Structure 1
Amino acid sequence: MTVHDLWKDLSKSEIAQRRQAGRDRWQRRWREGTGRAAQQRKQSYKEHQKAQAYLDDANHMQNPRAQRIRRESITVGTLLDRHLAAKADRAPKTVEADHHHAAGVRRQFGDRHASTIDTTEIEVWSQRGDIARSSRKKQLEIFRASIKRGIRDKLIDHDPTEGIVVPLGHKELPHWSSAELMAVIEAAANEREKALLAVLGLMGVRAGEARSLLVGDYSDGRLSVTTSGVDSDTTKTRAGRRTLPVPGFVVPLLERQVGDRPKSEWLFPSPRLAGQAIGKGYVSDTVTRAVARANKNREDPIERINVHGLRHTFAAMALSEAGADLLSVSRAMGHARPSITLDRYGHLAPAGLAPLMDKIDQLAVVQS
C-alpha cells in the first residue's frame, strides 16, 4: 500500500482553490493480490477522512509500513481539527477563542506534515514580533495540545513543541490598596453605587457579571454569579459560574439594595430606564464620580483606574494583603484555570516559605 499527496507540488494559491472546491487530497493505492499482475486499486480521501483511513489500515493489517505512512502523512491542520472537535462542548466564547488561536497556527503550519516540523522552527515562529506575547502564548498552547492529542491517539510519534516557552513578562496591572478602595467606596454618591463598587472591588466580580445580577442571586449572605453580562445566558467559562460568600462589610449594602423587591428584578437597576439594568457607561461613571469625591479632601489623590482595575484590586488585596492562596483567588475570580491567576498575579503572592511556616507554627501552638 502507498499513500500519495495529490497536492504535493502545487502552489499555495492552487491549494487554496482546491480546498475551497472541496477536492480530495489524499490517494491510497494498493494491489488486490500479489505480483505485478495483481489489479491496482485507488481510493481518494479528503483531509478529515485520511487519518481514520490510515488508522484502520494500520490496526487491521498490523503493517509497520502502513503505520509509518500514516504517521508521516498527518498534517498540523488535521491535528488542530481533531483537537477542536474534541473540545466543541466548552463555553461558546472559549470555543471561539480556540478557533481564533488555532487559525494563527494553521496559517503557518496547517498544510505541513507534522513529522516534518522541528522544534527550532516552532521556537522561531513563537518568538515573532508581529502579534502580542499573550496571543503567541495562546497559539503555542493550542498547537501543543493538538500535538499531544495526536501522540496519545498514536497519529504522531513526538512533540516538537516540548520545552518551548513564550514568556509574558511582568506588567503591573493598575490597582488600588485596600485603604484607597475603601475610601472610594465610602465616597460613592448613593447606596446603589456603593454596593456596586463593593461587589466589584471586594469580591472580584466582573463588571458584566455585576450588571447581570438579579435580586434572586443574593440569598443568605451568598451571591450567585451565573451569567457573564446582561442579555447573556452563559458565563465566560464554566468556572465563571460560581457562588461567593459575601464579606460582612458588603452584606448590609446588598440587603439594602435587595429590599423587598421581586427576585426577577435586576440587582442594580438603571436609574433612568425602567426595567433595565445599569449600562457599561454607568459603571465607569460610578468609578469616576467616587474617585472625584474621595479626592476632595485628600493630600495624596487616588489615581483613577478603569472598571476592570477593581478586579485587579481584589486580586492584589487578596494575595498581598490578606495572604490568600492562589487557588482560592482563582476560584473567587472565576478563572478557567489557576495558571491564569498565577500568570497575572503570582508575583503578588507571599514570597518564600516563611508565611507558610508561621501559619503551621500557629496551628501547632494552638493544639499543644
Structure 2
Amino acid sequence: MTVHDLWKGLPKAEIAEKRAKNAPRWQRRWRDGTGRDAPQRKQSYREHQKAQAYQDDAAQMGKPRARALARGSVTVDTLLDRHLAAKADRAPGTVTADANHARHVREAFGDRVVSTLDTTEIEIWSVREGVAAETRKKDVEIMRAAIKRGIRDRLVDLDPTESIVVSLGHRELPSYSSEQLMAVLGAASSDAERALLGVLGLMGLRSGEARSLLVGDLRDGHLSVNNGGAGTDTTKTRASRRVLPVSATVLPWLVELAGDRSKSDWMFPSPRRQGSSVAKQYPNQALTRAVTKANEDRKESIPRLTVHGLRHTFAAISLSEAEAGLLSVSQAMGHARPSITLDRYGHLSKKGLAPLMAKIDALVGKAS
C-alpha cells in the first residue's frame, strides 16, 4: 500500500487550476489479497486530506512505521474537518459560528502539520490587533478542541495551545438593577408581555427559548426549557436543556397566561398569526414599550437595553444582589460550562473569600 501525490511534477498553473477546483490530490493504492494477480484498489483524497490518506493507510496496514508516518503528516485542516463533522448536530447558529472561527484558524495554520507548530507562534496570533478579544478567544478554543480530539484519536501527540489564555477583561455588560427591572415589568403593556419579560429578566432564559415555550412546559411550579428557537427541535447546547423552578414572582403570571389551554399551545402565542409563537422581534418591542411607559413617571430614566440585556440582568442581580453561587447561575442560564459564566460575570460576585473563611471558622468551631 502506498500514498501518491497526483499533482507531483505538474506546472504551477495547472496546480493552481486543480486547487481552485478542489480536485483530488492524494491517492492511496493497495491490493485486495496477495500476489501480482490480486486486484488493485484506489482511493482519492482532496488536497487537505493528505493526513487522512496516510491514516487510512496505516489503519489498514496495522504497521507502527506506517502509523508514525501518518501521525507526522496530520495538518490543522484535517483536525478541524474531523472536529466540525463530529459537532454537526448542534444548533445551526452554533455550527455556523464554529465554521467561521475555524476559518480564521485555517487562514493562519490550515496547511501546517500540527507537530511543526509551537506555542509561541500561536500565542502571538492570539493577540493580533484589529480583532475583538471574544473572537480571538473563540478562535483559540476551536483550534484547541480540534487538537484535543486529535490527541484523543491518537492522531497527534501534543497540544501547542495548552497554556494559551485570551483574556477578555471585565467587560461590563449592560443590565438593570432589581428596582429598574421591576419598574419595567410593572409598566408592561399586557399581562402576557409582563410574563414574557419576567421569564427573561427573572429566570435568565434566552429570547428564543422563551418564545419556544409551550403551555405543557409549565408543570408543578417548574419550567422545562427544551427548544432554543433556532429553527431546530433542540436548545443551543446540551446544557441548555434544563428544568427550572419558576420564580414566585413569575409563576402566577405564567399560570394565568396558560389557563386551561392545550399543553401543545405556545405559551406566548402571536397576537397576529394564529397558531404561531410571537415573532423574533416581539420581545424587543415589548421591552421598548415597557421602558417607555416606565420612564413617564421617573426623574432618572431607565436606559433602553436590547432584550438580551434582560439575560445579563438576571446574571447581574443573581450574583451582585442575591449573592448566588456561580455554579447555580451557570445552571440556570444553561451555559455549556461554568467557566463561561465565570468569564462573563465572575467579577459581579460580591461574596469574596471572607464569607467562605467565616463558614470554615464556624464549622471548625463546632468540631472543636
Shorter-chain-normalised TM-score: which range?
0.7 to 0.9
Partner secondary structure for residue 345 of structure 1: helix
Rate the CA distance shift 1:308–1:62 in 2: closer, same or farther, 3 A: closer
- Specify the alignment match of 1:62 in structure 2: 64
Partner secondary structure for residue 96 of structure 1: helix
Q: Deviations over 1:269-318 (max 9, x none)?
A: 22333333222333222212222222222222211211110000000011
Q: Deviations over 1:65-96 (max 9, x none)?
A: x4543333222112222223333444444333
Contact map agreement 1:211 1:230 (CA 8 A) in 2: no
What is the TM-score with the length of structure 1 in the denominator? Answer: 0.84
Q: Deviations over 1:32-57 (max 9, x none)?
A: xxxxxxxxx99885226423245337
> What is the root-mean-square deviation of aligned Cα atoms in Å?
3.2
Partner secondary structure for residue 244 of structure 1: strand
- Specify the alignment match of 2:23 in structure 1: 22
Gaps of 5+ in 2: 31-39
Rate the CA distance shift 1:16–1:200 in 2: closer, same or farther, 3 A: farther
- Specify the alignment match of 1:133 in structure 2: 133
Q: Deviations over 1:151-190 (max 9, x none)?
A: 3333333322232222222210000111111111112222
Contact map agreement 1:5 1:27 (CA 8 A) in 2: no
Quote the Cα distance in structure 2 between the aligned partners of 1:54 and 1:114: 19
AA aligned to 2:21 is: Q
1:111-190 mapped onto 2 (5 Å cutoff): 111-190=111-190
AA aligned to 1:62 is: P
Q: CA deviation at 1:4?
A: 6.8
AA aligned to 2:25 is: D
Rate the CA distance shift 1:76–1:16 in 2: closer, same or farther, 3 A: farther
AA aligned to 1:55 is: A
Rate the CA distance shift 1:132–1:222 in 2: closer, same or farther, 3 A: same
Contact map agreement 2:151 2:158 (CA 8 A) in 1: yes
Quote the Cα distance in structure 2 between the aligned partners of 1:346 and 1:296: 34
Contact map agreement 1:7 1:15 (CA 8 A) in 2: no
Quote the Cα distance in structure 2 between the aligned partners of 1:213 and 1:287: 18
- Specify the alignment match of 1:34 in structure 2: none
Partner secondary structure for residue 156 of structure 2: coil
State the number of aligned residues: 354
- Specify the alignment match of 1:50 in structure 2: 53
Q: CA deviation at 1:230?
A: 7.5
Rate the CA distance shift 1:184–1:362 in 2: closer, same or farther, 3 A: farther
Gaps of 5+ in 1: 30-40
Identity %: 58
Rate the CA distance shift 1:366–1:263 in 2: closer, same or farther, 3 A: farther
What is the TM-score with the length of structure 2 in the denominator? Answer: 0.84
Quote the Cα distance in structure 2 between the aligned partners of 1:195 and 1:362: 42
Q: CA deviation at 1:348?
A: 0.9
AA aligned to 2:62 is: H
Contact map agreement 2:3 2:27 (CA 8 A) in 1: yes
